[in-house]
Amino acid sequence: MKILVCITHVPDTTSKIQFTAENTKFDITGVQFIIGPYDDYALARAVELRDQTGGKLTVLNVGEAETEPTLRKALAIGADDAIRVNSNPKDSFFVAKQIAHYAKEGGYDLILMGRESIDFNGGMVHGMVGELLGMPSFSPVMKLDVEGTTVKMAREIEGGKEMLEAQLPLIAGCQEPIAEWKIPNMRGIMSARTKPLNVVDPVTEETQAETQKYQLPPAKGAVKLVDKDNVAELVKLLKNDAKVL
């Protein structure tokens, strides 16, 4: 089985976010980048499936040269080779076009990625790739097992989960608890240095959206303390200030 895992290169969740150029560009100064947490789940499950069924596991990222350490980490976790599409990931459609092109060329049976990236939280790429390739796409997938050409999944829905069954090839946007994150060991880190990392050109520069400006959320206001016996005041604040009633 040939598995493709698409990963994002995103700021660590503890990073302090700032913008430059009149809030039109993200300031990467001092920011630590990681594999997207949801992509980490997809990668962990892909390693398990590759080990169970044999075959090959490839990771793909749309990004410029600074994303290569992130790809090397994915190789250290267990991927067999990596592809970097040499371009800034301009929007979801642009990223989906790149993935669809190289996935079609590679003839992959299973394409996994996170349910969404944690920088823009769009959650659109897996659906777009499915449309471009004419493949079924499922998200958010919490459990995924492969039996021959049949894939059995559990998908999160409001108030519960949905059990699904589909045939390969397909695309899944993954989330916990599909697998446990894997930490690279020393052997994996050493072997990642010599695994293939192929840099390819983007197939198109076409985009559907353009970011005009970024804005930080407003600073948290002061805490208001209300006496536990003053229910009327609490209701008033919840209604007029917090506007949750």
Residue 221 has pLDDT above 80, yes or no: no
Alpha carbons 99 and 66: distance in angstroms, whole number: 19
For 65-115, write each residue's pLDDT tens digit.
999 999 999 999 999 999 999 999 989 999 999 999 999 999 999 999 999
pLDDT, position 34: 94
Confirm if 86 and 201 have CB atoms less than 8 A apart.
yes
Query: How sure is the predictor about 175, in pLDDT bands with cuts at 50, 70 and 90?
Result: very high
Q: How far apart are the first and last CA of the chain?
A: 53
Residue 222 has pLDDT above 90, yes or no: no
In SS3 terms, 176-191 reads as: CCCCCCCCCCHHHHHH
Which domains does the chain possess? Answer: 2-216 (3.40.50.620)
Residues in the chain: 245
pLDDT, position 245: 79
Least confident of 116-120, 176-180, 184-188: 116-120
For residue 49, give Cα distances in angstroms to 6, 78, 211. 16, 11, 37
For 15-68, write each residue's pLDDT tens digit.
888 888 888 888 888 899 999 999 999 999 999 999 998 899 999 999 999 999
Give the mean model confidence (pLDDT) for residues 145-150. 95
pLDDT, position 25: 85
Adjacency order of strands within the sheet including 56-63: 160-167, 150-157, 137-147, 170-174, 110-114, 2-6, 56-63, 81-86, 197-200
**Residue type, position 100, single letter:** A
Confirm if 202 and 60 have CB atoms less than 8 A apart.
no
More confident residue, 170 or 159: 170
How many of the other CB atoms lie within 10 Å of CB of 245?
9
**Strand ranges (DSSP E) for the chain?**
2-6, 9-11, 19-20, 25-26, 33-35, 56-63, 81-86, 110-114, 137-147, 150-157, 160-167, 170-174, 197-200
Least confident of 120-124, 185-189, 221-225: 221-225
For 126-135, write each residue's pLDDT tens digit.
999 999 999 9
| Cα angle: 26, vertex 9, 42; to 5 degrees | 145
Alpha carbons 122 and 176: distance in angstroms, whole number: 18
**Residue type, position 55, single letter:** G
pLDDT, position 191: 93
For the chain, the average pLDDT equals 92
